Amino acid sequence: MINTLQPELSDERTSMTVEQATDPALAAAALDQAGDAIIAIDHAGTITLWNQKCTELFGFTAEQAIGEPVEIIIPENLRTAHEHGFGAAMESGHLASDGRARRTKGITADGGKVYVTMTFAVINDAEGTAIGAVAVAREYVKES
């Protein structure tokens, strides 16, 4: 966790201070420049964070996606399974799966389909109560 960093890290390879690590502008830039799509949703399943790679992968801008239900990128035939799994995760505070990357299908803004490799994690508050989830995705490319 960021807040457990020492005020000045002693590792010569790292020169980031706690203040820099918690700087909102730095955090926003890091999220937007990440090499993978990063999506956060709240307890109700509403998109609250959408980085630039999400836009590249799914075609929705942040302005279009944030505030919308995550189902805008979930194919209809996968929504029941998503709702069941997400509901169970929000109730229990953890995932039933092993946390490994999963290949799945998403919907793009133009109604097309995109195959993605995605990992998921539950976001818990300080008391351990589930308050949302985060997913990290990249386009699935079949290795030959």
CATH number for the segment(s) 36-139: 3.30.450.20
Q: What pLDDT score does 144 carry?
A: 64
What is the pLDDT tens value at each position of the chain, 144 positions in all? 333 333 344 444 445 555 556 778 888 888 889 999 999 999 999 999 999 999 999 999 999 999 999 999 999 999 999 999 999 999 998 887 777 889 999 999 999 999 999 999 999 998 989 999 999 999 998 776
Q: What pLDDT score does 72 carry?
A: 98
Q: Which residues of 60-93 are buried (b: 16+ CB within 10 A; e: fewer)?
A: beeeebbeeebeebbeeeeeeeeeeebeebbeee
Q: What pLDDT score does 50 carry?
A: 96
- Whole-model pTM: value is 0.81
